[in-house]
Structure 1
Amino acid sequence: MSADETWTAAAAAAAAREYSGDDLPRSSFDESTGIYHSVHQLGKHHRIPTTPNLDTATFVLSRFPPHHQAESRVALIDSATNQRVTYAELHRSVLSLASGLYHALGIRKGDVIFVLSPNSLLYPTICLAVLSIGAVLTTANPLNTESEIVKQVSDSGATLAIAAPECLHKLLSTGVPTIQTSRPSEGDELSIEELISSCDPVELTQSDTTGLIRPSQSDTAAILYSSGTTGTSKGVVLTHSNLISIMALLRWTVDVTKAKKDVFLCFIPMFHIYGLAFFALGLFCCGTTTVLMERYELKSMLEAIQTHKVRNIPAVPPVILGLVKHAGRFSAGGVGDLSSLRRVSSGAAPLGKELIGAFRERFPWVELRPGYGLTESSGAATLFVSAKEAKRRPGSCGGLIPGFFGRIVDVDSGNNLGPYKVGELWLKSPTVMKEYLGKREATVETVSGDGWLRTGDLCYFDEDGFLYVVDRIKELIKHNGYQVAPAELEAILLAHPNVLDTAVVPVEDEEAGQIPMAYVVRAGGADELTEAQVIQYVALQVAPYKKIRKVGFINAIPRSAAGKILRKELVLQANNKHQIINSKL
């Protein structure tokens, strides 16, 4: 029996055993293969479909509530205007827009559609309509510069752009035909809103008369741009099979965490895999209601929670930090009643033990459940099934979800490592991307010939198969031959009452190779916090080689839309300043 057959058989045997979610699982590590597997099973209602001729939109729409419920059940609520969209209205909008894109604009299977917009009630309709006719979705941050947008449009091969009115000017130099999302106040330009209102909500079927060729699971569904595990931004090619798989797994997570009746809050950007998979597509498979924010802002988020009795927030670490540091000051003004809140999940970046502890102390009635995922894995790969699991393992990102296999690989030898041994995390699942668009070498470096995704993250599993992220391999600071993890130092600094936010980066040093430098955002009223105090605070809690050697105070830590620290900007700034100082000595 081959190694692959061995671990597949082990996984099947584990999947056959029921797991309640409230008891600690048995070890998921197979010593004979060095492979970790999920201890959870998918029930018959959550199995990943294997039908070849199935597309993402058809899968999602088929899981909408039945017709007699869809007319009244609310799918989306705009937090700013209180406008509501029922499942029936959403379904009709998707069919109308798909017809308009196909018949009025001539969009065909394989055409790449570039979407540039903040979150809106129209965003899910656009995504589902594009995917339903076999076109390929590529999304971007509306805050991107014109040059960044031109590069993505060119690299993806987009033939049509859909943009919010305020973003139109960034697309002028691309030369790509552009349609805006909402009706213009002046002029007769076509819009997405007009296409929806003017086209009949009739399902397009594959036939000789229409010429429609429906997509299959193996076809490309989306090209999402990610920094990847190495190098610059690359187009992550996800198939319909990838997205359908993550949708099926999301349905399982919502059911198993008893969140099906929750009201969710969305401020995670839908152009990111986290927002796209969860809010623009996935939650509609579960029949839940989502309160939608255009973008994250703390006070607006607290108002939305209070007004709409939100129970569940998929978030990122900066949001959780904001709740811990700031939420209390709004209560006196009548804003900030979070009594409805029951669950907060976290992804996109590691969540330190100190921040987890502070959140649970501040909000003891809320279940905090960190998770782990990547664009290259179509989103989530690990989670906590129960609050009990999460509380007993602070600092962990949870266990592998069904269908996922993991390895911890020694960076030097390439050997598989057992529990508590730190190495690079490799993942295998039906959600792993097809490739990096047009970058064969980068694809080969990231996805092995037998389908293992090299994540670029240093991690370890404990004896029960729960994952802990140490740091990015390429972000480790090499100090006098020792490896220093920025995330560890950041977690310590965030526990300081006078530190609002922080990032630790390497600074080049002739003697030590690199030294750790901390950029710190002072908390309000903490202007007296000094570099010496910060250095001493960390030095008392770490080994000598891990000590912070320099501190810079700034107004805000640069972060991506998903909450990840933009370290390259800080590294460039730190090393430039260091060189200037040295040149003056």
Structure 2
Amino acid sequence: MQCEKRIMVIATMEEESLQNSLLFDKKSGFDSQTGIYHSLVRLDEDQKIPTQPNLDIATHVLSHFPPPEEAERRVALIDSATDQRVTYAQLHRSITCLAAGLHHGLGVKKGDVVFILSPNSLLYPVMCLAALYIGAVITTANPINTEAEIIKQVRDSGATLAISAPSEMSKLSSTGVPVLLTTGGGEGGHLSVEELIEKCESLEITEAKPNQSETAAILYSSGTTGTSKGVVLTHSNFISVVTMMKWSVQVSKANDDVILCFIPIFHIYGLAFFALGLFSTGNTVVLMKRYDFQAMLEAIQKYKVNNIPAVPPVILGLVKNDAGGHDLSSLRRVGSGAAPLSNEVVETFRKKFPWVELRPGYGLTESCGATTYFATDKEAKARPASSARLLPYFSAKVVDSDTGVALPPFREGELWLKSPTVMKEYLRNEEATAATFDPEGWLKTGDLCYFDDEGYIYIVDRIKELIKHNGYQVAPAELEAILTGHPDITDAAVIPHEDEAAGQIPVAYVVRAASDKLTEDQVMQFVNRQVAPYKKIRRVSFISAIPRSAAGKILRRQMISQSKQQTPSRL
């Protein structure tokens, strides 16, 4: 009931914002009476979020494909490794054929959860859109996750079918969930996505398709508190973010861009952008299976790539490494998300690539990957430390964590958000949902920030305790639970350590049993064989006691501060 009330509040937010438009400052977007920062962007009538309730994200995206004649010749996808090309017409046929195969051949129906375990491929957007088209719910996972992590997600999400790359199928063997391979087929009697597409039959859905308020995806994130939780995103969330993406493409005049994708599509950044949003704009996507610096340079040169949505380690790679004779003159735009960029990296990038627009942004899984956007390169250059302005339909508060008071420009506090893109809830986790939303439906991001007097946001630090390693979220609590499970460890704490290449690395502080001779390598091996590579402990220090508050809470900020004082800066 609380979630339904919050959704109704969000649905009327834009109308209320327009009615109150005379009350807030037109320069900053700040309303001193309510403490709310409003987006300064107003969309034209034909750019607004569709309001019809009986609309799903797949139908919405397909409705924006180029018209038939143009779709036959316009390229939607290119595999950078094989040069295989898929036109918009071929993509449309593959989506509807796979949807028919899933529905008629495998009995997938509205509300069923489909678990996808695969690296990037030309089939990934097809799998997502086909499942969504018949009303199924998708949940995606990192292929490098361990078997234990995969099993946990399959069970928590309630998946009834798994689609897996052949190389990852063994991780699903003990789940008991039927497996559809991405390619090949015949192995162990398993069908493949390719076979279902080839056996195409007419698509007739015998039951009602989902409406905007129903669940489209469950993506796993550590969120603003605790360990990994299922972020429930609706069709409305994705339709809203795709609408904003179409607007951003239009204002950037990027309708004919060739866009390089090495961002993992299982991540919200990749899913919203490369599996859904870009195909509503008519752009061409050059797809890489995974990020590789040299392969990226080759792809830029070969396909005349002019737009790269990236993450800080990629930007750092471009700054620090020589292009090796590759022609990068086609590049026009490079975006950056998942973690903040330092001023030094931004300035060095602009000097090295003066013809390229660098546009940092901010978003999180709980907001469907969206929050801010630089509409022009001029804005981005003028404010290199900023994470841009609020996207259309967004409102924000900057809240003092001690007093709960909403703060004006240039005052630091926790960022709270409202938007049609904000998640519905954490899956079957009322406690975490209640801790993340206030009673009026504001999403508490856990990030410390401030706005300036022109509505630009500056992310200062993370209030939440997550560690960001190469854009991935690592929950200290998860690693601490593993550490304290070792028979020779009596207590442990995990904190972030700043790292130029990865952003942050997890560092463990461990209290050994009195007579134990446990080594750093033994501790790291114990943890690292149980977790995905991005969660690995990179350093271990042994101490006599973990500093805790009277209530038993780890004094993590104190530990981080002491660690910085003890470790000389390498900048």
Evaluate the alpha carbon distance shift between residue 359 and residue 430 of structure 1 in structure 2; reply closer, same or farther with a 3 A threshold: same
Question: Contact between 1:116 and 1:167, CA under 8 Å: does it hold in 2?
Answer: yes
Q: How does 1:35-50 map to 2 (within 5 A)?
A: 35-50=36-51
The alignment partner of 1:93 has SS state of helix
Evaluate the alpha carbon distance shift between residue 575 and residue 417 of structure 1 in structure 2; reply closer, same or farther with a 3 A threshold: farther
Alignment partner, residue 388 of structure 1: 378
The alignment partner of 1:228 has SS state of coil
CA distance in 2, matches of 1:183, 1:460: 52
The alignment partner of 1:275 has SS state of helix
Alignment partner, residue 132 of structure 1: 133
Q: How many corresponding residue pairs?
A: 493
TM-score by length of 1: 0.79
Evaluate the alpha carbon distance shift between residue 4 and residue 163 of structure 1 in structure 2; reply closer, same or farther with a 3 A threshold: closer
CA distance in 1, matches of 2:11, 2:69: 46
The alignment partner of 1:459 has SS state of strand
Alignment partner, residue 455 of structure 1: 445
Question: Contact between 1:133 and 1:212, CA under 8 Å: does it hold in 2?
Answer: no
**Shift in Å, 1:218:** 1.0
Evaluate the alpha carbon distance shift between residue 119 and residue 14 of structure 1 in structure 2; reply closer, same or farther with a 3 A threshold: farther
Alignment partner, residue 265 of structure 2: 270
Evaluate the alpha carbon distance shift between residue 262 and residue 154 of structure 1 in structure 2; reply closer, same or farther with a 3 A threshold: same
Q: How does 1:279-428 map to 2 (within 5 A)?
A: 279-326=274-321, 328=322, 330-331=323-324, 334=325, 336-428=326-418
**Shift in Å, 1:191:** 0.6
- The answer to whether structure 1 residue 445 and structure 2 residue 445 are counterparts is no
Q: How does 1:79-118 map to 2 (within 5 A)?
A: 79-118=80-119
Evaluate the alpha carbon distance shift between residue 501 and residue 429 of structure 1 in structure 2; reply closer, same or farther with a 3 A threshold: closer
Question: Contact between 1:219 and 1:239, CA under 8 Å: does it hold in 2?
Answer: yes
- The answer to whether structure 1 residue 255 and structure 2 residue 250 are counterparts is yes
CA distance in 2, matches of 1:174, 1:242: 30
Question: Contact between 1:15 and 1:39, CA under 8 Å: does it hold in 2?
Answer: no
CA distance in 2, matches of 1:578, 1:402: 51
Give the ranges of 4+ consecutive aligned residues of structure 1 lying more than 6 Å apart after TM superposition. 3-7, 13-16, 504-510, 577-580
Structure 1: which amino acid aligns with 2:320? K
Evaluate the alpha carbon distance shift between residue 413 and residue 60 of structure 1 in structure 2; reply closer, same or farther with a 3 A threshold: same
1:24-56 residue CA offsets vs partner (Å, 9 max, x unmatched): x82211111111111112122221011110001
CA distance in 1, matches of 2:13, 2:73: 46
Q: Which moved more, 1:212-221 or 1:427-436?
A: 212-221
Question: Contact between 1:264 and 1:289, CA under 8 Å: does it hold in 2?
Answer: yes
Q: 1:429 aligns with which of 394, 419, 424?
A: 419
**Shift in Å, 1:9:** 6.7
CA distance in 2, matches of 1:42, 1:224: 29
Question: Contact between 2:214 and 2:235, CA under 8 Å: does it hold in 1?
Answer: yes
CA distance in 2, matches of 1:144, 1:186: 23
Question: Contact between 1:507 and 1:578, CA under 8 Å: does it hold in 2?
Answer: no
Question: Contact between 1:11 and 1:38, CA under 8 Å: does it hold in 2?
Answer: no
Alignment partner, residue 223 of structure 1: 218
Question: Contact between 1:96 and 1:196, CA under 8 Å: does it hold in 2?
Answer: yes
Q: How does 1:223-242 map to 2 (within 5 A)?
A: 223-242=218-237
Evaluate the alpha carbon distance shift between residue 300 and residue 344 of structure 1 in structure 2; reply closer, same or farther with a 3 A threshold: same
CA distance in 2, matches of 1:5, 1:105: 36
**Shift in Å, 1:507:** 7.8
Evaluate the alpha carbon distance shift between residue 60 and residue 227 of structure 1 in structure 2; reply closer, same or farther with a 3 A threshold: same
- Provide structure 1 residue ranges, at least 5 long, that are not aligned to the other structure: 17-24, 206-210, 478-485, 495-499, 511-556, 581-585
Alignment partner, residue 569 of structure 1: 537
Q: Which moved more, 1:249-258 or 1:152-161?
A: 249-258
- The answer to whether structure 1 residue 503 and structure 2 residue 501 are counterparts is no
**Shift in Å, 1:175:** 1.0
Structure 2: which amino acid aligns with 1:569? I
1:303-355 residue CA offsets vs partner (Å, 9 max, x unmatched): 000000000000001110111111x1x42xx4x31100000001111111111
Structure 1: which amino acid aligns with 2:207? L
1:378-406 residue CA offsets vs partner (Å, 9 max, x unmatched): 11110100000000001111000000001
TM-score by length of 2: 0.81
CA distance in 2, matches of 1:460, 1:280: 32
